[in-house]
Amino acid sequence: MWGRAKATSPDEEAIAAAVGTTREVFLSGRTRSVSSRIERLRALRALILDNRSSFAGALWEDLGKSRQEVELTESDVVLGEISFALRNLRRWTRRRRVPVPMALQPASAGLLAEPLGVILVVSPWNYPVQLLLAPLVGVLAAGNAAVLKPSELAPATSRLIARLVPEYFPDGAVSVVEGGVDETTAVLAQRFDHIVFTGSAGVGRVVLRAAAEHLTPVTLELGGKSPVWFDDDEGLQEAARRIVWAKFTNAGQTCVAPDYVLTTPGRVEPLIAAMRSALIDLWGAEPRTNPQYGRIATDRHFDRLVSLFEGVDIAVGGAHDRAERYIAPSIVTLAQSGEMVIGPQSPAPVLQDEIFGPILPIVAVPSVEAAIHAINATEKPLALYVFSGSARVRRLFEERTSSGALVHDAAIIHVGAPTLPFGGVGGSGMGAYHGAYSWSSFSHLKPILRKPLRPDTLRAVQPGSHGIVRRLAQVLLRVG
Ligand code: NAD
């Protein structure tokens, strides 16, 4: 549904009209100049800073996120992206001269980064501010107009954004369509110049199919099972603390959260013991009463997660309460026989799909080679985390696995670095954004070549020119 009103049923005409209005703003050229891009980035910063309390309230209502967590994992990431874009914008937008080969001389050439047009951003519920507004930073910095589709599963945040956007972008360069599957289907029927989708692989396929109708390029930010390898006995306490912090922040509902840990059999028990005490340190002995510990977003996800406790041994946690959608931080192990299989073919449900909740399986494998084999036998993950004291092992993971990102001795923090591209590979997505990578994803680098009419050197390759001269020119020009 468009703008401020509450979504009831998709009004396709209203959605089409609204996308059309956003396109008119883009075609008017008002989003292109560097000064207007700076103005819009500042407007986005003001939208966040002026409404910190409202965002904290909405995210508490939607996901039980504490204010501290909202600032660290939602607004600060967007604000960091805005500062980075503001610092670099003039340099990025500068037209770059490029050399022209002798055969084409006299001529001059350059590269102009032009905006793509109207970009649709569709976001999920787990970081409903960050994953909607961080892409928007790059979209605006590159001079585009945007249509935002927040997640219906974070309704308070969606309503807040739909209310604030027209206030801070009164000219309509950014607009919001609220709603769920029907509304997203109606939006996707429209023609966009690029789509940024963050969500599950299943819906990613729906988006890609819809985009194909208009030959629209797509950035797909998907999820998957992000593994951890652990063998760093010296760093056991620190590694355990970092892994559980990354895993159980937002109650495990983070796309780059560690999904499972692979380690050798002798390390399972010491790792679990270290994780148990790290959990108490971070969220106390009773996380349910700690306002810093989140809740599961929906009943459906709660039921799905609780069913994963079947067939595993619960080493830590396991408590849950449907009325509150609370699941304690839980660490589980699996009795297994034969080769470890990760992914849809695994006999253990907890190892089949992305867990996306506060359950962490610790899986014993005989060796680092067996771990790499198991990881490579399934979809390429969005992130891979290696906690190893051995340079050889670190290099093995760097060279013999493929993932959206690889982080040594920490997890999830790479998302906060605007100097690193954020995105998946293979099953975890396509394309990347953040910092300068957003800029290049949402711009078209247009070559502009000028060849003066005089002297008319192109005559040499045209019919009627002398045979030898023509052949020579063709070789130099590599045409014909
Ligand atoms: P989702 O795919 O269910 O929904 C994402 C968006 O798609 C929502 O805005 C929703 O309204 C829309 N949508 C849902 N079903 C649709 C349909 N049939 N047709 C058209 N649109 C539809 O994802 P989610 O449950 O909100 O988020 C969880 C998933 O997102 C996990 O897989 C997680 O790993 C992934 N994720 C990835 C990243 C990343 O940056 N790579 C970040 C967060 C979450």
Q: For the chain, which residues score pLDDT lower than 70?
A: 1-10, 470, 473-480
The question of whether 221 is a catalytic residue gets the answer yes
Euclidean distance between CA atoms 374 and 371, whole angstroms: 5
Å from CA of 202 to ligand 1 middle: 8
Whether the CB of 356 sits within 6 Å of ligand 1: yes
Euclidean distance between CA atoms 10 and 255, whole angstroms: 29
Q: Which fold has domain 227-420?
A: Aldehyde Dehydrogenase; Chain A, domain 2 (3.40.309)
Å from CA of 125 to ligand 1 middle: 7
Atom of ligand 1 nearest to the CA of 149: 9
| Region for 318 from its dihedrals, namely left if φ exceeds 0, alpha if ψ lies in -120 to 50, beta otherwise | left
pLDDT digits (tens, 9 = 90+) for 373-431: 999 999 999 999 999 999 999 999 999 999 999 999 999 999 988 899 999 999 999 99
Residue appearing with tokens 């089949």: 352
The DSSP H or E segment spanning 221 is strand 218-221
Pocket test for ligand 1, best of 63, 132, 151, 158 (most atoms within 8 A of CB): 151
Pocket test for ligand 1, best of 184, 254, 441 (most atoms within 8 A of CB): 184
pLDDT digits (tens, 9 = 90+) for 84-123: 999 999 999 999 999 999 989 999 999 999 999 999 999 9
Where are any strands of DSSP class E within 347-392? 359-364, 383-387
DSSP-based three-state secondary structure for 445 = strand
Whether the CB of 222 sits within 6 Å of ligand 1: yes
Tell me what pLDDT residue 2 has.
Answer: 42
Å from CA of 100 to ligand 1 middle: 45
Which residue minimizes the CA distance to atom 34 of ligand 1? 223
Tell me what pLDDT residue 4 has.
Answer: 38
Catalytic residue among 74, 81, 183, 221: 221
Angle at 154 between CA 310 and CA 143, to 5 degrees: 125
Whether the CB of 125 sits within 6 Å of ligand 1: yes
Residue 406 pairs in a beta bridge with: 384
Instruction: Write out the residue limits of the CATH 3.40.605.10 domain(s) in the chain.
Output: 10-222+432-443
- Reading the block at residue 130, the tokens are 């960050």
DSSP 422: B
The number of beta carbons lying within 10 Å of the beta carbon of residue 45 is 18
Q: For the domain 10-222+432-443, what is the CATH code?
A: 3.40.605.10
Whether the CB of 151 sits within 6 Å of ligand 1: yes
Tell me what pLDDT residue 466 has.
Answer: 74
Inter-residue contact 168 to 141 (CB < 8 Å): no
Tell me what pLDDT residue 454 has.
Answer: 94
Euclidean distance between CA atoms 271 and 275, whole angstroms: 6
pLDDT digits (tens, 9 = 90+) for 46-72: 999 999 999 999 999 998 888 998 999
Mean confidence (pLDDT) of the chain: 93
Residue appearing with tokens 């490579």: 376
Tell me what pLDDT residue 479 has.
Answer: 53
DSSP 124-168: -SSSTTHHHHHHHHHHHHTT-EEEEE--TTSHHHHHHHHHHHHHH
Euclidean distance between CA atoms 176 and 162, whole angstroms: 6
Tell me what pLDDT residue 10 has.
Answer: 58
Tell me what pLDDT residue 364 has.
Answer: 95
Euclidean distance between CA atoms 78 and 84, whole angstroms: 10
Atom of ligand 1 nearest to the CA of 297: 25
Tell me what pLDDT residue 478 has.
Answer: 64
- Please state whether beta strands 108-115 and 443-450 pair in parallel, antiparallel, or not at all (unpaired): antiparallel
DSSP-based three-state secondary structure for 128 = coil
Whether the CB of 255 sits within 6 Å of ligand 1: yes
pTM of the complete model beyond 0.85: yes
| 302 residue type, one letter | F
Q: Among candidates 63, 353, 415, 445, which has minimal Cα distance to 221?
A: 415
Instruction: Write out the residue limits of the CATH 3.40.309.10 domain(s) in the chain.
Output: 227-420
